Structure 1
Amino acid sequence: MAGGDLKNKALRLSSTVQNYEWGKHGRAGEVGRLYSLISKSPPEEDKPYAELWMGTHDSGHSLVVSEEEHTGKLPLRNWLQEHPEALGDKVLERWGIDLPFLFKVLSVGKALSIQAHPDKDLAQALHQAQPKVYKDSNHKPEMVLALTEFEALCGFVDQQELKNVLQTVPEIENILGESRTIELMDVESRGQSADHVKMSLKSAFTQLMTIDKEAVMEALRKLKMRLNQENQVRNLTLKEQLVLRLEKQYPNDIGVISAFFFNYVKLVPGEALYLDANEPHAYLYGECVECMATSDNVVRAGLTPKYRDVETLCSMLTYKQGMPEILQGVPLNPFTTRYSPPFYEFEVDRCILPFSTTVTFPAVSGPSIFLVLYGEGVMTQKLVNDESIINVQEGDVFFVPAGIQLDISSIIEENIEANKEHRPLHLYRAGVNSRVFE
């Protein structure tokens, strides 16, 4: 597998599945389905399948697979150490012998934690102080691209919505107290500076997130009772319905109340949401592909049984208010759309290829990972003195070295067996952001 004849060809990968408790069980989600295709065995119906990891991170590295034996042989990072030219000169110079991005599929069955990812300086400090908790020193900007309707909390609501929350959720005023509630409601109207507005929000949010457990339990008891009573005479808002749902998933958790402070976002398939360092968020439900800088650093403060670092989270956030930007992508051709967040480490292409059609992925100056989500077809690699043809089908994952052009063709419609159901070919490509090579 380490032979020189493979250094300029696409490599089939076997990837790691993470069984976090918030994942969808068995065949209910895309990760369970992909696990079954990759492992050639059915998923366990009582087991959560949360994330499929594709890349070189230590917590879930991909293996290079022998085409002859279809068995994992060598971690991709080890292969890259033997063939660094596969990364391309600019990537090698900037990030060394490692993929700068980590590609994932997520199947979210229940809410993930209220969390944020540290910037590089904080990541290094946290890793040095608590290496068992913060296992690497890299930052973790990320982007999710919806495969189904996808729900998330992301960033703080704007001042008008926050004012409405403070007026209509008495349980929050009871926690903050009357004077702090009034200050937070009126801070903008008093002509205070943007920094002062942020400091007021930070102070109130920190007070909320650090109240004692008995106060949390009492506030949630009152909140749940009030909303259930009001539901008899009016339609609850979407945020109120969400809060009741979160309370069932995480009883007596301050993260339930904190949801009122965050934007409630619903993506439809083909829409993407990106998250910079130090921005609060929580994924709530749905299927997505996700790409990020190669890191697993998470600072949590609610909606989780895991370790919480509330002090760090409250101190690190930007406290920027307003709805996040939703990316619709930029068409590259009739079949392919590119999603380019403002981060150098990655971009994602989404390709939906109808039957009997071909699309070209031109050679790029950095590495790529391709995921075949649905369908089947053939992949033709344009090599220096030859071409290589590989059959592809759903569940396949490939590492493609820098400088390789791919022509990918979906199955010819006339070749589809009458008694078999086929979907159009759905491909997702993760690669280094094109701006790096401009």
Structure 2
Amino acid sequence: MGTHGSGPSFVCDGDKEPELLRDWLLKHPEALGEDVVRRWQGELPFLFKVLSIAKALSIQAHPDKRLAEFLHMNQPHVYKDPNHKPEMALALTKFEALCGFVNPEELKEVLESVPEFRALLKEHEVEMLLNVDTSNSGGGGTALQEAFTTIMNLDKDTVAEKLRELITRLETEQQVRKLTPKEELALVLEKQYPDDVGVFASFFLNYIRLAPGEAVYLSANVPHAYISGECVECMATSDNVVRAGLTPKFRDTEILCSMLKYEQGLPDVLNGSLVSPNTRRYSPPFDEFEVERLDVPEGNSIEFSAVPGPSIFLVFDGTGSITFVEGNSSPVKRGDIFFLPAGNQFTLLAKSGLNGNKQASANDGKGGNSLILFRAGVNSRVFSS
């Protein structure tokens, strides 16, 4: 949902022919608001998505602005735009992901408990990782980069052989002991992607599990892979992805290994902040976007105040109506998506006897019947600075 050429949105206005949102905005730049027009040269700066993940997505990272411009100039058929792609995933269901490098202590435990992983590294790399000062989460960057690069560049036969050894051992040992979450994940990933080096790469990365309503954000050059679950995702307007594992798609291993931030530790998890009784806001440290969740109890209404920038709304559950100041009113239902120009305000009414997805409503721990919407917009701090 947005203006990126890889999957652009269309504006539907009554009986008129659908028009690209990008073209509509060129005719109506005021819909972006003065600050957004000035800051992003008339472009919608964010892209809004919904993901439903049945099979792990690739081990990947998104380039920063400078690298994105270089990659787009040299490989425009692969890297389709010159923009960076910070992003945030907000869990709708239980959500699993690999995100960032594990701390030095956990990596030492991997070296001591996963012999197949250790055997793939050079002896001096093992020694460097084992001797990293665990009290300094940034102290092992050089050793970590060397070790990660070694494993990601292994030949396929070596990877396949050691993976067979790993899987055989884990399948045997799970008969007599409970496997660790990472070991269980390795079994799942190997079934989805046989002989893939990404299974070993997962031991380098934090394995996180989000509850519905929790979010994780990713800056440029942070390795990650979404494993399972459903989420709404927001990002800067870009489709640039550098992949190197758990994928049949093009792999750019050299670029990935050279671009990554080799910083260790768990990512920040956001729970959102209540900005009104019915609105929870998730604000990552990126100017391009934020996401809000709006909950309108059955039979109630809320006023949505005007904001200085554009918004895209997704009706996630329920039915109701939206009424603008001038009196125009339209019904809304689960699955509807609408664009709101800057400076507009409206009233949301949740109708009784909702026909939405009660399962989805119950999963977030709220319970009850509500009209639930997600809003993507420019980060509010842009307008307050």
Please report the TM-score for the alignment, with normalisation by the length of structure 1. Answer: 0.83
| 8 Å CA contact 2:137, 2:265 repeated in 1 | no
Question: Aligned AA for 1:87?
Answer: L
1:246 aligns with 2:182: no
| 8 Å CA contact 1:146, 1:271 repeated in 2 | yes
* Alignment match of 2:352 (pick from 412, 419, 423): 412
| 8 Å CA contact 1:63, 1:72 repeated in 2 | no
Question: Aligned AA for 2:25?
Answer: L
**Partner residue in 2 for 1:373:** 316
Name the SS of the counterpart of 2:107 in structure 1. Answer: helix
1:202–1:126 CA distance, 2 compared to 1 (3 A):
same
For residues 354-390 of structure 1, what are the alpha-carbon distances to aligned partners after superposition, in whole Å with 9 as ceiling and x for unaligned? 10111222100000001101111111112xxx22111
For residues 118-177 of structure 1, what are the alpha-carbon distances to aligned partners after superposition, in whole Å with 9 as ceiling and x for unaligned? 000000001111110111000000000000001100000001101101100101111103
Shift of 1:192: 8.6
Question: Aligned AA for 1:336?
Answer: T
* Alignment match of 2:9 (pick from 62, 66, 72): 62
Name the SS of the counterpart of 1:412 in structure 2. Answer: coil
**Partner residue in 2 for 1:28:** none
For 1:235 and 1:405, locate their aligned partners in 2 and report how far apart those are by CA, in whole Å: 54
For these two proteins, the number of residue pairs brought into alignment is: 374
1:433 aligns with 2:383: no
1:231 aligns with 2:177: no
Name the SS of the counterpart of 1:304 in structure 2. Answer: coil
For 1:88 and 1:291, locate their aligned partners in 2 and report how far apart those are by CA, in whole Å: 20
1:160 aligns with 2:105: yes
**Partner residue in 2 for 1:150:** 95
Any residues of structure 2 matched to 1:128-147 within 5 Å, and which?
128-147=73-92
Structure 1 gap segments, 5+ residues each: 1-53
Name the SS of the counterpart of 1:176 in structure 2. Answer: coil
For residues 293-332 of structure 1, what are the alpha-carbon distances to aligned partners after superposition, in whole Å with 9 as ceiling and x for unaligned? 0000000000000000001000000111111000000001
For residues 174-212 of structure 1, what are the alpha-carbon distances to aligned partners after superposition, in whole Å with 9 as ceiling and x for unaligned? 1103332122111226x9994x62011000000010011
Any residues of structure 2 matched to 1:232-381 within 5 Å, and which?
232-381=175-324
Structure 2 gap segments, 5+ residues each: 360-367
For 1:423 and 1:357, locate their aligned partners in 2 and report how far apart those are by CA, in whole Å: 11
Shift of 1:97: 2.3
| 8 Å CA contact 2:198, 2:244 repeated in 1 | yes
For 2:338 and 2:301, locate their aligned partners in 1 and report how far apart those are by CA, in whole Å: 18
| 8 Å CA contact 2:282, 2:291 repeated in 1 | yes
Shift of 1:72: 5.4
For 1:427 and 1:293, locate their aligned partners in 2 and report how far apart those are by CA, in whole Å: 21
CA RMSD, 1 decimal: 1.8
| 8 Å CA contact 1:111, 1:282 repeated in 2 | yes
For 1:165 and 1:192, locate their aligned partners in 2 and report how far apart those are by CA, in whole Å: 18
Shift of 1:403: 0.3
Please report the TM-score for the alignment, with normalisation by the length of structure 2. Answer: 0.94
1:205 aligns with 2:148: yes
Question: Which stretches of structure 1, 4 residues or longer, exceed 3 Å deviation after superposition?
Answer: 191-194, 420-423
**Partner residue in 2 for 1:106:** 51
Question: Aligned AA for 2:377?
Answer: G
